[in-house]
Structure 1
Amino acid sequence: GSRGRVCEADVRDAARRFNPESDAAPNASSATAADHETIPLSAMRRAIASRLQESKRNAPHFRLTVDLKIDDLLRLRDEINATVAGVKLSVNDFIVKACAMALVKVPDVNIQYDEQAQSVLRYASADVSVAVALPAGLITPIVRGADGRSLAEISAEIATLVTKAKAGTLQPDEFQGGTFTVSNLGMFGVRQFDAIINPPQGAILAVGTATERPEIAGGELVSTTIMSVTLSCDHRVIDGATGARFLQQLRAYVESPALMLV
């Protein structure tokens, strides 16, 4: 180069002289770089990206995790499924019902946060959103008034909403709003995870898989079926003690599932 400076041509010339194979390297690299597919974001994926980015940016998340014993729940589910015609309850149906009843007991979690008005909307009944994974992304259809519905009604409603979600026929009022969300990845073998709050809601429950774990009971080693759940809360409107009270109520219903039949 001018005045003896090293330029690009000098570097390429040196590469050719000292490493003859280097000429082929850029071509191989270019071929590798070009070996990919560009997939534009769908409208659903753009909406998900925008809302969850907004949630993580604006909502100070804190998380509380508890282990729930579900042996009695599993026995009750099996008994109902075996004796009630046309009813096939899932563990998730019980979790949605338990959350709804706990939300009524702890109404300070059964809320939406209006950022514009700087106010909290607290609801009398629980409209529980259920996260549904689709090939194009995630959608959260809502079981309206879940606290006042039977387990069979909740199960049927979730089945209907999932079918509509997969067919793309959900109406806006069937997935917009809600006061709380349940996100369950237990069917994938995920033991525990943190979920991002679905705005304008104030909390979301992440449900992991149920596993048998050893436990000491009455001085003896026994096997207990445990499910780990993690509650993510928006600290602007829900405090730690409030979230803890909600989980206490949730545990009461899950570990004594007959209470959900009353």
Structure 2
Amino acid sequence: MQSKQTIPHYYLSVDVNMDQVLELRMELNAEVKARNIKLSVNDFIIKASALACLKVPEANSSWLDSVIRQNHVVDVSVAVSTPNGLMTPIVFNAHTKGLAAISSDVSALAAKARDGKLQPHQFQGGTFTISNLGMFGVKNFSAIINPPQACILAVGGSEKRLLPAANDKGFDVASMMSVTLSCDHRVVDGAVGAQWLAEFRKFLEKPVTMLL
């Protein structure tokens, strides 16, 4: 209620071609299978979000009434559904972590959240939030900002779509994912929000760039 009544929300949506992420995920999962790690698409989304926050730090800011604090680390809050409602455990320093470390963090935090064993410091705070409802068959949605954060990314599911292409058939089939960024207009204006989404999409559409 505080979020909707006090934060001037606006929303920006883009579609992301997930073909390269899905391919890379399959390759990497074959590599880490022996270590009992299974990377999810969400792990790539967390990493891409964290790196986009480094490129566009305004999106990684907090509104503190009289000042705007631009955070130098990216602590990603990940929305998790539990029997007691929604929790947002935090992947600390997501910008410095590899995909396997992010995957392990998320699995451990989600299990603790569902068992009601999260410590306050593990879910209070964070600098940027991701809410992913793709696994529930949701195509797209607009999420409510988690104060004092300035942005939250709402992630829908991937679906196969026909895309125009300069090949013999005249089209390609690609896995496209819709995402919507909710922004606090006091902190992030439209052009900056669009810039963040452009960086985010670039990382996911060419995931090897996340190594740079």
> Under TM normalisation by the shorter chain, which class is it?
over 0.9
The partner residue of 1:155 within 100, 103, 109 is 103
The partner residue of 1:71 within 11, 19, 26 is 19
Match of 1:137 in 2: 85
User: Amino acid of the residue matched to residue 239 of structure 1?
Assistant: D
Q: Contact (CA 8 Å) 1:150, 1:261: kept in 2 or not? A: no
The structure in which a higher percent of residues are helix is 1
The partner residue of 2:39 within 56, 77, 89 is 89
The ranges of structure 1 where at least 4 consecutive aligned residues each deviate by more than 6 angstroms after the TM superposition are none
User: Amino acid of the residue matched to residue 190 of structure 2?
Assistant: G
The partner residue of 2:200 within 247, 250, 260 is 250
Q: Contact (CA 8 Å) 1:93, 1:151: kept in 2 or not? A: yes
The partner residue of 2:147 within 199, 203, 208 is 199
What is the DSSP-based 3-state SS (H/G/I as helix, E as strand, rest coil) of the residue aligned with 2:58?
coil
User: Amino acid of the residue matched to residue 209 of structure 1?
Assistant: G
User: Amino acid of the residue matched to residue 200 of structure 2?
Assistant: L
Name structure 1 gaps, 5 residues minimum.
1-52
Match of 1:179 in 2: 127
What is the DSSP-based 3-state SS (H/G/I as helix, E as strand, rest coil) of the residue aligned with 2:59?
coil
Identical counterparts, % of pairs: 52
CA deviation string 1:139-194 (max 9, x = no partner)? 10000100000000000000010011011111111100111000000000100000
CA displacement at 1:261 relative to structure 2: 3.2
Alignment size in residue pairs: 208
User: Amino acid of the residue matched to residue 224 of structure 1?
Assistant: A
The partner residue of 1:188 within 131, 136, 142 is 136
Higher radius of gyration, 1 or 2: 1
CA deviation string 1:75-103 (max 9, x = no partner)? 00000001223221000000000000000
Match of 1:59 in 2: 7
Within 5 A, what are the aligned runs for 1:160-171?
A: 160-171=108-119
CA deviation string 1:213-262 (max 9, x = no partner)? 00011151111100000000011111000100100100110000112234
CA distance in 2, matches of 1:175, 1:100: 17
Q: Contact (CA 8 Å) 1:186, 1:209: kept in 2 or not? A: yes
Match of 1:20 in 2: none
What is the DSSP-based 3-state SS (H/G/I as helix, E as strand, rest coil) of the residue aligned with 2:57?
coil
Match of 2:188 in 1: 238
Bigger relative contact order, structure 1 or 2 (CA pairs below 8 A, ≥6 apart): 2
Match of 1:105 in 2: 55
CA RMSD of aligned residues (A): 0.8
TM-score by length of 1: 0.78
